[in-house]
Copies of this chain bind each other. A is one copy, B any other.
Amino acid sequence: MADKSYDVVGIGNAIVDIIARCDEGFLTKHDLDKGFMRLIDAGEAARLYEEMGPAIERSGGSVANSIAGLASFGTTCGFIGRVAADQFGGIFRHDIRSLGVAFNSEPAMDGAPTARCLILVTPDGERTMNTFLGASVDFAPADLDPDMIAASRIVYLEGYLFDREHAKAAFREAARIAKEAGAKVALSLSDAFCVDRHREDFGNFIRNDADILFANEKEITTLYQVNSFAEAAATVRHECELAVLTRSEEGSMIVASGDTIEVAPEKVPEVVDVTGAGDLYAAGFLYGLTRGAPLAVCGRIGSLAAAEIISHIGARPEMSLRDLAKRAGLVN
């Protein structure tokens, strides 16, 4: 096995979030489904931005958020994502590196600008996301960093990227490199609509390439086109070595070969912003795995990290998750 310099290497969209408040009427006017993510093109991004209120910008991206969480736990991480040579690309690179995450992806010198996600926060704390994938949409096998992948213990792949054929090819290549180097392959389903668009490819990838699957209830039932969570859990057991299914306030379920473990959610005084809950749950879970914790403990660390993230605005941790896990007695 190659030298394992990284606990986890993530591959995903490199996105700058643009966050503004809006009222319910704004969503209605623009025909936006509250709480969901949709993909938009450059023209739509410009039109929507024009009508949005004053905004703040911060780094985002689903697996990038997970990697930021893993760094906060004190693990050694890397991230692979495609940015352009522009100011948003500079923001993304700065933020992820400043967390101690290795990020060596060279910015693309031409083509679309760095991805951005226009996020509308309604008074109830829900977020409605409009993603212009920009440079991220062209993610291809050439964007992989084979040495970084080979040097990782777990490679964590973002399902959102599965919308394009060259990105799918990149994922299969990443999985091949990982396997050869003795690394585990983890996949997040990311989005029920994306799962619906690429059901067969997701199914094949999970069966043939992924060792660990992260999905929420909506995503896993959509994947297997079943009506109940129980059916989905029963199905995934035969498809994947380890599936981790999250259910918002109902906690999570870990489905391993012979085992089913229910994990209670962590209580939070006030849910301020649910974005990133899944991303940070995955961070905590993977952290536990890299430390050899029992699966039930991995789940509890995941719940803990998710609870931290939904207690404040933004999908990146605001305190040391390692300290949090220590205080909870979940790690040494």
Identify the closest chain B residue to A317 (Cβ): B54
Identify the closest chain B residue to A50 (Cβ): B94
* Cα distance, A55 to B55, chains bound together (Å): 14
| Contact of A300 with B by CB under 8 A | no
| Contact of A91 with B by CB under 8 A | yes
Minimum CB–CB distance for A319 against chain B, Å: 11
On chain B, the residues within 8 Å of A87 by CB distance are 86-88, 113
Identify the closest chain B residue to A113 (Cβ): B87
Contact with B along A72-115 (1 / 0, CB 8 A): 00000000000000111001001110110000000000000100
A98 near B53 with CB under 8 A, answer yes
On chain B, the residues within 8 Å of A68 by CB distance are 54
| Contact of A176 with B by CB under 8 A | no
On chain B, the residues within 8 Å of A88 by CB distance are 87
Identify the closest chain B residue to A54 (Cβ): B95
Known: A86-B86, A98-B52. A91 touches B59 (CB 8 A): no
Identify the closest chain B residue to A94 (Cβ): B49
Minimum CB–CB distance for A221 against chain B, Å: 35
Known: A49-B94, A86-B86, A88-B87. A99 touches B58 (CB 8 A): no
Report which of B54, B95, B98, B314 forms a contact with A98, defined as CB distance below 8 A. B54
| Contact of A127 with B by CB under 8 A | no
A99 near B57 with CB under 8 A, answer no
* Cα distance, A108 to B28, chains bound together (Å): 37
Interface centre among A50, A87, A314 (most CB of B within 10 A): A87
* Cα distance, A143 to B163, chains bound together (Å): 45
Known: A86-B87, A87-B88, A88-B87. A56 touches B58 (CB 8 A): yes
| Contact of A316 with B by CB under 8 A | yes
* Cα distance, A56 to B96, chains bound together (Å): 12
* Cα distance, A87 to B18, chains bound together (Å): 12
B57 near A58 with CB under 8 A, answer yes
B95 near A55 with CB under 8 A, answer yes
Beyond contacts A52-B94, A56-B57: 11 other A-B pairs, Cβ-Cβ < 8 A, are A20-B98, A49-B94, A50-B94, A54-B59, A54-B68, A54-B95, A54-B96, A54-B98, A55-B94, A56-B56, A86-B86
